[in-house]
Amino acid sequence: MRFPYPTGSSAVPLFLAPMAGVSESPFRRLCRVWGADVVVTEFLSAEGIRRENEATISKLRFGPEEHPIGVQIFGADPVAMREAASAVTEVFQPDYIDINFGCPVKKVVRRNGGSGCLKDLDLVQEIIRAVVQGTHLPVTCKIRSGWSEEMRDPVAIGLRCQDAGVKAIALHPRTRTQMYTGHAHWEEIAALKAALEIPVIGNGDIKTAADALRMREQTGCDGVMIARGSFGQPWIFRQARALLDGQPMPATPSTAERFAIALDHARMVQAYEADPIGAAIEFRKHLGWYVKGLPNSADLRKQLHAVNSFDEVEGIFARYLESDWAHEAAHDATHDSAESASEESHAA
């Protein structure tokens, strides 16, 4: 199935999911380097774009190396959505416009934005048609499986979206009332894929590269979108790519390599953000994710969650690498890879 925008040479493109406060320009660029084929901005309010709200507009910035990129917008007013799509197209020239019909956050759904729209599929179609009118770019959307368990019907929602003019659709198969609980119902991705003529991107609960392959095999989805699974491990894209292409999976970076990638990320953030202290504080969450699972990570995370500058981070990483904990991590990694090699030879 052909995507309406460039997706690189891969048969099954990998997407970095839109994530508020996470899929910002530096992280998007890092994930592109590590093999994400397509990236999407976090969701941006159509009203904010229309009123040229400074905070909203600043989140629309992206660099040439981020293409192909989609800009995701949300709102329940078709006129505002049309005008926002038109402004984004003219000023920022992304590869496509994505409409958010999935956000479960109260502040958004209270005004019928995000997944709030899923209660009224006539409104969903009205919004899509308005956005299509406002741009010459392909229009796509990201949905949940429905508003509630009683209203759960991703195929009906997807057919209405396709009928109104979207050119690809991403499904996170949970309902709004589920928020992030339970598990993503991948069988609904398979059902949507079987019912639609446009490309379907599967999303939800991909924590490892092997999960990406499993989703593709179980659902036949045209693309795979990773959100939380990219936290602190942007290399998941390169590993998933290899598995999808039938190649051996590249090794997971060592502790020292992980820290070097985290520092690369930090430098990109430092160069991008105007306020260095604010940027370091905002970056603490990424630091916590980069050290997840390491020996003594609770203590390491505590130190990292207190930093006010990127220089402090370098010092903390350097001390950890000299400590016994790092030797234990190296030992664990050798042990793990020996174990998995032995498991593979038993399986063969």
Residues 6 or more apart whose CB falls under 8 angstroms from that of 181 comprise: 174
Strand partners, 225: 15, 203
Please choose, from the candidates 109, 181, 123, 173, the residue with its C-alpha nearest in 3D space to the C-alpha of residue 143. 173
Could you say whether residue 232 binds ligand FMN (CB under 6 A)? no
Which tokens hold the place of 13?
């493109």
- Among the options 31, 103, 117, 221, which is catalytic? 103
Report the nearest approach of ligand FMN to the CB of residue 329 (Å): 26
Give me the phi and psi of 138, to 5 degrees please.
-65, 145
Sole window of 78-86, 129-137, 157-165, 224-232 interacting with ligand FMN (rule: CB under 6 A)? 224-232
Residues 6 or more apart whose CB falls under 8 angstroms from that of 265 comprise: 26, 27, 30, 234, 283, 286, 290
> How many binding residues for ligand FMN (CB under 6 A)?
22
Residue of the chain from 68, 102, 202, 295 that contacts ligand FMN (CB under 6 A): 102
Could you say whether residue 204 binds ligand FMN (CB under 6 A)? yes
Could you say whether residue 152 binds ligand FMN (CB under 6 A)? no
CA angle 202, 250, 208 (to 5 degrees): 35
Residue of the chain from 81, 132, 196, 206 that contacts ligand FMN (CB under 6 A): 206
Cβ distance 26 to 280 under 8 Å?
no
Residue of the chain from 199, 229, 232, 234 that contacts ligand FMN (CB under 6 A): 229
Report the nearest approach of ligand FMN to the CB of residue 234 (Å): 14
Interacting residues with ligand FMN between 271 and 330 (CB under 6 A): none
Could you say whether residue 189 binds ligand FMN (CB under 6 A)? no
Interacting residues with ligand FMN between 5 and 34 (CB under 6 A): 17-22
Q: Is 103 a catalytic residue?
A: yes
For residue 47, the tally of other CB atoms under 10 A from its CB is 20
Residue written as token pair 């502790």: 255
Q: Which sequence positions are flagged as catalytic?
A: 103
| Residues lying near ligand FMN in the complex (CB under 6 A) | 17-22, 42-43, 72, 100, 102-103, 142, 172, 203-206, 226-229
